[in-house]
Each structure stands twice: as C-alpha cells, then as structure tokens.
Amino acid sequence: MNTFIALEKLEEIDLQDYHEVWLTTSERWPQDPETAQRVCLWRADRELTRDVEIDDVYFQNLPRLWLLVDDLHDKPAVSHVEQALNVRIGELQLEGEFLPDEKDKVPSGDKRTDLRS
C-alpha cells in the first residue's frame, strides 16, 4: 500500500499504519527504475517473531507514506519536511530510523503507475 499526502496532512495521519515514509519529486510510481528522485526519510522499527518465515518481498509490500518535494537537493525544503516528520513521530512516540539505507529491490509484476486512490 502506497499513499501520497500533502505535507499539511502529516499532522492528521497515523504513522503507525506505515512502515516507511519516503520523499519524492513525482507522484508517479516512485519505485519505477527511471524515477531516481526519491529518498527514504524514516523506517519504523518492527518487532519480528520467530513463528513466521519472512522474506524481503514481505518488507517491500509494507505500507509506505510518500511526501512530495520539488527538488531533493533543495536543502531548506527537505529540512522542513524532515522537521515536520520528526515532530509527528515524536507526538506518536514511534521508534524507527531516520534516513535508513535503501533496501535492494525484488522484482514485482505490479505495473500500475498511479498511487492516488
């Protein structure tokens, strides 16, 4: 599940419903190989149990929240988004990692390009 929201709606959304928060420059399917303008801002800490075998595909299909910025090199704009996200995570008392390394991609057969509901 991928969801795009405007930054103004961040204070209303329950981030517990999302595994990662990403920043991108396009509302097209951000995972497309030709879309290089994206960065993972935050990844939630998840507690794993030993009763289920989980592979990388499972983690790639977890819910992601996407925020839009015109240019990832615009440091003030990116910093503004990071600060807003940090405030919201603090309000919800969530645990996670800021700016985590991007995970390797596993091929997917899903070719849809519009993330809006």
Could you read off the pLDDT of 51-63 as tens digits, one per residue?
Answer: 656 555 556 678 8
Does some domain include residue 9? Answer: yes
Could you read off the pLDDT of 15-73 as tens digits, one per residue?
Answer: 999 999 999 888 776 555 556 788 899 999 876 666 656 555 556 678 899 999 999 99
Does some domain include residue 115? Answer: no
- Spell out the residues 6+ positions from residue 73 whose beta carbon is closer than 8 angstroms to its own: none
Does some domain include residue 40? Answer: yes
Does some domain include residue 6? Answer: yes
Q: Which domain holds residue 82?
A: 2-46+53-98
Token pair, residue 78, equals 């990116």
What are the C-alpha distances in Å from 33 to residues 2, 27, 37?
17, 14, 10
pTM for the structure as a whole: 0.74
Does some domain include residue 79? Answer: yes
Does some domain include residue 104? Answer: no
Q: What count of residues does the chain have?
A: 117
Report the number of distinct structural domains present in the chain: 1
